[in-house]
């Protein structure tokens, strides 16, 4: 079986309430900085990217998003070049979901095939009113980032094996079509859980059935089933990787 190497890359940061990620009301008092992360997967002759991050901070402010920062070297294409990877080498981009901080730089990877869940794409076109801004939907007066450039799409419907050692798993709740990426590595299987698990704090009590479900929740029942599944995956030895936590960068250092 193929073994892959995962490299988390900081593609900026956002200022937000920790309680928004954990649903803990005591953690809504002050805003903190959280990383916007993308993930490079290498192995088997493949270079795969998971998510493409947010856009230019000034543009994001105009769209009314959470305050964000991005140093020039954190732009995804430049961050990859710094690691010796040309953006044209990325053959596949897996979009976990279509919120603004996960899909704003698709145009930087012109040779890649982009994979998204059908349910996520449909929901991004016409989401619940609460999430119109997160998706930058057409009725907010913008063109969603995923629709702004020519992109080779592969729209899938359900869980799939991408290749030997990499599987796409449905983890709905934060959004209807959120997908995680289960990767076989030399250190064991790792699940890139995206915003199903923004912070490790959310899964501190996972083994005891205590679920830190994010307040950014589209469907609480679906989110609960996702946590049930992640609890079983952990029992099977899967390490769950948080999507907006600085500890993720430390774990792979």
Q: 156-168 burial by CB neighbour count: b if 16+ within 10 A, else e?
A: beeeeebeebbbb
Contact 148, 104 (CB under 8 A): no
Per the CATH hierarchy, to which homologous superfamily does domain 5-251 belong?
Ribonuclease Z/Hydroxyacylglutathione hydrolase-like (3.60.15.10)
- What's the CA dihedral at 1, 172, 79, 68 to 10 degrees? -160
Which phi and psi angles does 196 have, rounded to 5°? -65, -30
User: Among 246, 245, 249, 244, which residue's Cα sits nearest to residue 53?
Assistant: 244
For tokens 């449905």, name the residue: 170
The DSSP letter of residue 139 is G
Residuewise pLDDT in 10s, the chain (253 residues) = 789 999 999 999 999 999 999 999 999 988 999 999 999 999 999 999 999 999 888 888 877 788 999 999 999 999 999 999 999 999 999 999 999 999 999 999 999 999 999 999 999 999 999 899 999 998 888 889 999 888 899 999 999 999 999 999 999 999 999 999 999 999 999 999 999 999 999 999 999 999 999 999 999 999 999 999 999 999 999 999 999 999 999 999 8
Return the structure tokens found at 32.
Answer: 């903190």
Question: What is the pLDDT at residue 87?
Answer: 98
């Amino acid at each position: 079986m193929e073994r892959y190497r995962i490299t988390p890359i900081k593609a900026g940061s956002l200022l937000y309430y920790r309680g928004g990620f954990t649903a803990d009301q005591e953690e809504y008092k002050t805003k903190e900085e959280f990383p916007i992360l993308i993930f490079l997967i290498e192995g088997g002759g493949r270079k795969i990217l998971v998510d493409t991050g947010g856009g230019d901070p000034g543009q994001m402010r105009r769209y009314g998003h959470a305050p964000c920062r991005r140093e020039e070297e954190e732009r995804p294409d430049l961050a990859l070049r710094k690691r010796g990877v040309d953006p044209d080498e990325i053959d596949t981009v897996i979009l976990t979901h279509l919120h603004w901080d996960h899909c704003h730089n698709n145009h930087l990877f012109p040779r890649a095939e982009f994979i998204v869940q059908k349910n996520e794409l449909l929901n991004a076109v016409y989401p619940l009113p609460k999430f119109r801004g997160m998706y930058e939907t057409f009725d907010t007066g913008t063109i969603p980032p995923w629709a702004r450039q020519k992109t080779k799409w592969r729209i899938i419907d359900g869980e799939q094996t991408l290749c030997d050692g990499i599987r796409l798993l449905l983890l709905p709740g934060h959004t209807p079509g959120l997908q995680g990426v289960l990767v076989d590595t030399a250190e064991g299987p790792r699940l890139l859980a995206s915003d199903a698990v923004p912070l490790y704090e959310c899964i501190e009590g996972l083994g005891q059935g205590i679920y830190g479900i994010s307040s950014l929740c589209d469907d609480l029942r679906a989110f609960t089933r996702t946590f049930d599944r992640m609890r079983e995956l952990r029992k099977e030895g899967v390490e769950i990787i948080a999507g907006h936590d600085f500890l993720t960068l430390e774990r792979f250092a």
